Amino acid sequence: MPLISSFLGILVYMYQEENKPHFKPHVHARYRGQELSIAHDGEVLAGGLPRKQQKAVEAWVAYREDEILASWAALNEDGIVVEIKGLEA
């Protein structure tokens, strides 16, 4: 599972699952054993993180939506993983 960003101790991944359709671009954020799946538009698809970390991920998704969509397209069209800056940058 390719790591595309990290900030505030949160690791953000984007990956393809074989034989499973992905209808909406999204990322998986992990923090201390908890995981959140969140779409490019901020919709929480599954899971959750502690409140502070989840709010940080939601802010990152809102700020980096265009980059998430570009990374999603690159991964699904060309198999290329594009890293995205965290909140600090």
Averaged pLDDT of the chain: 91
Task: Judge whether residue 89 has pLDDT over 60.
Answer: no
Domain coordinates of the chain in residue numbers?
3-78
The 10s digit of each residue's pLDDT in 23-64 is 789 999 999 999 999 999 999 999 999 999 999 999 999 999
Say which residue, 17 or 57, is predicted with more confidence: 57
Q: Are 39 and 57 in contact (CB under 8 A)?
A: no
Rounded Cα–Cα distance for residues 53 and 9 (Å): 9
Give the position of tokens 């970390």. Answer: 53
| pLDDT at 17 > cutoff 80 | no
Q: What is the pLDDT of residue 76?
A: 84
Structure pTM? 0.90
